[in-house]
Amino acid sequence: MRRDEPDGEVPANPALRRILRRPRGTELSELLTEGMSGGDLTTLLLEVFRRRAERLSPADVMRYYRSDRFVAPAPISFATLRRAEDALLSALPDEFEILVLAPVLPLAAHSAVATVDPRKVIATLRRRPAG
């Protein structure tokens, strides 16, 4: 497994250290990162997310909505944002082609193309039930 520290001994991330200290933590990490195909990992994670979502009540979802800054509505109105986008797009030269991006990107799209560390991209699987 790739470690965060240059010496390869201990991950720098405290949360990862905590997880890997659990029984079979390193073994599980190896299995998930290197021991199964991308399709199998996706299938497994979808089942995990389904089971976790099943445990959440509407009240849990509303509590997360109120407390998680990543799911709060934007502080600017849609109409204002749309006008700003229209102004910016209309200023582009005619030879520019405007593309609508897919809402889902392939794994490593940020890190391979733009050298953005994947840990700095907000994941859609941030919330989990307590316990």
- How do residues 58-80 score in pLDDT, each as one tens digit? 998 888 888 888 778 889 999 99
**CA dist list (Å): 82 to 87, 116, 128:** 9, 27, 33
pTM of the model: 0.56
Tell me, yes or no, whether 19 lies in a domain: no
Answer yes or no: is pLDDT of 96 > 50: yes
Residue 62: inside a domain, yes or no?
yes
Interatomic CA distance for residues 118 and 107, integer angstroms: 9
In a domain, 125, yes or no: no
- Of the pLDDT bands very low, low, confident and very high (cuts 50, 70, 90), residue 115 is confident
pLDDT at 56 over 90: no
- Residue 77 covered by a domain: yes
Tokens representing 97 are 């082609």
Is 87 domain-assigned? yes
What is the rounded CA–CA span in Å between residue 101 and residue 1? Answer: 33
Q: What element of type H or E holds 114?
A: helix 114-114
CB contact at 8 A, 76 and 85: no
In percent, the amount of the chain with pLDDT more than 90 equals: 19
Q: Which domain holds residue 73?
A: 36-97
In a domain, 128, yes or no: no
d(CA 49, CA 107): 18
